[in-house]
Amino acid sequence: MVDCKHLFQEFHPGRFLVFASLLVFGVLLSFKLEGVLDCSYWVVFAPLWLWKLIMIAGCIFGIRSYILQQDIVHEMGTVADFQAMLLSTSLQMLLLSFEACLCYKLTTDPSSGAEAEGHMNWYLVFMPLFLLSVLSIIICGWGWKKERPLDLELLFSVNMLQFVLLVLRIEGIVLWSYQIILIPLWILLGICSIAVIYYIALTAVLLCTNDILPSLRTPRTAASCLYSLANFSLILFLGLLVTKIDNPEAESHSFIAIFLPYHLGMGSLVVSTFYQKGGNPWWFGIREEFCLFLLKKFPAIRVYGNISYIYGYSTQETAIPVDVPITNTSDSKNSLPKVTFSNVELPD
């Protein structure tokens, strides 16, 4: 069953923007590393620039709406949402600083002597990430106090050690292989795998009982499959990438082939955003759920967003035999043929 109405209601626009940007960025980066795409790294990072630009614009419009409508803010009780938007934007700015420094470092020719003069070393490149990790720890404490969901904040807060090890390895202070350097990331992916397996087991138990509504069976099943596919695809991608980096002279897969599991994992996460209800109502000052705002601005979408499709039935099941007599008595209900109809909800 495909319920378009449910997909609209459970859509998470923020995560969709993040995962879609990372997906396009991965495609461009694989082509760049393989030599197929001859352009600057500033062009390769364009999807990430677009992601940050949209987030900053959304924050500016949200601040404007907050200032102009103070009475509505206190009535709605969304001060915590506004504060969360500001904190999230500060994280995005630090992440943008790191990406800009990284692009500058990658586009600088080592033979030009810029690195020897100390204009930009890897410590300075990763400095925004160190600040980002510290700020993420503070935001996580605030989020747990306010009982708010944590996404990027939790990810960056637990990866501070990983950033330190990467800097030490790139600068040549430690000469360990990247399989050892990425141990914190391996541990994080292992924890995610355990969480995914637990979610799949819980979904299987709920599907075997009557404790879950029929309308939630398909979303839970789809989310379980998508999360498991994304997790194991990213583990495979990281393993292939580490093998390629540790053995650059050995014959191995091309970067395009190595990034295929990454594309599959990010594609699964993009689809999973249609099963993750949430989002901050203060982005762009809409002050309501994204689905409701979209339906108000574009009423024609209601025709497509309020329809449920049921498939998988053969024509033999839906056909009514013509040789069966139909009587008018109430006792003949059990003798009538059983017909399976597919219900289609009418648009609002």
Q: Which residues of the chain have pLDDT under 70?
A: 1-9, 70-77, 109-119, 210-216, 250, 300-348
pLDDT of residue 340: 45
Tens digit of each residue's pLDDT (9 = 90 or more) over 77-119: 577 888 888 888 999 999 999 999 999 998 885 543 444 444 6
Q: Buried b / exposed e across 128-139, counting CB within 10 Å, b at 16+?
A: bbbebbebbeeb
C-alpha distances in Å from residue 310, one per residue of 73, 225, 340 = 42, 20, 11
283, with CB counted inside 10 A (0-12, 13-18, 19+), is buried
Q: Which residues of 26-37 are buried (b: 16+ CB within 10 A; e: fewer)?
A: bbbbbbbbeeee
Question: Which pLDDT score is estimated for 5?
Answer: 61
Q: What is the pLDDT of residue 324?
A: 41
CB-based contact 275:12 (threshold 8 Å): no
Q: What is the pLDDT of residue 215?
A: 61
Phi-psi domain of 222 (left: phi exceeds 0; alpha: psi -120 through 50; beta: other): alpha
Handedness of CA 244, 248, 250, 251 (dihedral sign): positive
pLDDT (0 to 100) of residue 335: 46
Quote the CA–CA distance of 308 and 158 in Å, as a whole number.
41
Q: What's the predicted TM-score (pTM) here?
A: 0.79
Give the pair of three-digit tokens for residue 166: 């990467």
